[in-house]
Amino acid sequence: MQDLESVFNSTIEQYIQPQGQIVLALSGGLDSRVMLALLKKYCENTGSKAIAVHVHHGLSIHADDWAKQCQKWCLESGLECFVEHVSLDLKGKSLEESARDARYVALSKHLNENDVLLTGQHADDQLETFLLALRRGSGPRGLSCMPQVAPMGNALLVRPLLHVKRHDIESYAKDSNLEWLNDESNQDKRFERNYIRHTIVPSLSKRWPHIQQSVQRSSELCAEQEALIEELISEKYRQCLRQDKSLSISKLIGHSENVRRSIIRMWLSNESIKMPTRSQLEIIWQQVAMAQQDANPKLQLANIEIRRFLEALYIVRDFQSLANWNKDIHFEQPCLLPDNLGTLVLISTGNGRLSKQSLNTAPLKVIFEPEGLVAHPTDRAHRRKLKKLFQEYAVPSWMRRRTPILMCGEKVAAVGELFVDRAFSGDDCDFVWQRY
């Protein structure tokens, strides 16, 4: 049996920062309950700062009792305990995936720069994750499973018990007379992970007692392979990536099929998109990128679409309607746009595109609905409907109602970064769209 205190302490010492604190993800189950006991001793011996966060999913009739029990254990351990209530978004996700995503969002609220978040995954969890990845037919990225340490914003996510078997954790808990919570859903074999945990892993462990260590080595080798792939194709990826974060199809064509797939995977990964299957990657290339020029191809992936516009591939997210959104805007005062579209600001400058005198003739506001509006860009000979102008300026269809329009009274003064209307043209102010 491993010395859990030594394993826990040595792992924490590798990653803790003097100016940061330790944040424990405390579900109250066996793993996190043991970590609470280990963390209590560590803080007593080192004087380190630590808190615990319990995420209340509301999925069990016992959820309120679990939260109270975690608070009680933390009080006895001298740690402050925060309870975060979350609601689950099941759109395009399994219950397990939705709960995991909500949990990490809740935990991140308590993380500051240089903090360390501790989660309780162990060697048996890693084995389960590896088997789930095998079932899905994953490549090196999926088979890399869980790293012991990973960035989480400006903090670090650390799994101190990742190389420890569940049997050893349970033995420590019993020897220390610890109590822990049992989530009844963990016995439901309809969930794939539970089926693997209760049906497959015991048989594998009985046949091959060191299977957890073997899987850990394999996952680490896969992680090395994935890191090597990323290193080798990163420059090719940058060459294919356009300023608006789309992928150039003409540049992708110049690469082999394997390199092209790796570039598309890197593109999706960098945008935090769940990795598609190999057949979906084929569809992205053959049916979306290579579709006829007059087609409007797209592939739905969970809550995003992969679309082609002109000679590029785009990730199109599930946007909210902005048809009725409008907001007044004033000089030198940033205007916050909805749906993570950034901010707009009207600034006084000696080399701008707009005339301050013209803009002062009526109240100013920002809208997104182009229907019925017309404008006369300074680089065009005639007035046109915004619908036609968006086409001329090659704005993708899904961005035509997500491009901010500066209105002066009932007239269009400027549209995003595209153009300024001739009637409002000048050089003493500008309309700046700062995107996130």
pLDDT at 1 over 60: no
Report whether 272 belongs to an annotated binding site: no
* Cβ contact 191:96 at 8 Å: yes
Report whether 27 belongs to an annotated binding site: yes
Q: Domain map of the chain by residue range?
A: 4-218, 241-317, 326-434
Q: What is the residue type of 302?
A: A
Report whether 168 belongs to an annotated binding site: no
Task: Quickly list DSSP for 59-103.
Answer: -STTHHHHHHHHHHHHHHHT-EEEEEE-----TTS-HHHHHHHHH
Note the pLDDT tens digit of each residue in 115-137. 999 999 999 999 999 999 998 88
* Cβ contact 186:96 at 8 Å: no
Report whether 30 belongs to an annotated binding site: yes
The Cα 146–Cα 133 span in angstroms is 11
Estimate to the nearest angstrom the gap between the alpha carbon of 331 and the chain centroid: 34
Percent of the chain with pLDDT over 70: 98
The Cα 242–Cα 248 span in angstroms is 7
Note the pLDDT tens digit of each residue in 51-73. 999 999 888 888 899 999 999 99
Q: What is the mean pLDDT of residues 218-222?
A: 93
- Whole-prediction pTM value? 0.73
Give pLDDT, residue 93: 67
Report whether 185 belongs to an annotated binding site: no
Note the pLDDT tens digit of each residue in 263-313. 999 999 888 888 888 889 999 999 999 987 767 788 888 778 999 988 899
User: Would the CA dihedral through 291, 263, 223, 25 be positive or negative?
Assistant: negative
The reply to whether 4-218 and 241-317 are identical in fold is no
- Domain spanning 4-218: CATH superfamily: HUPs (3.40.50.620)
Domain 241-317 coded CATH 1.20.59.20: yes
Report whether 269 belongs to an annotated binding site: no
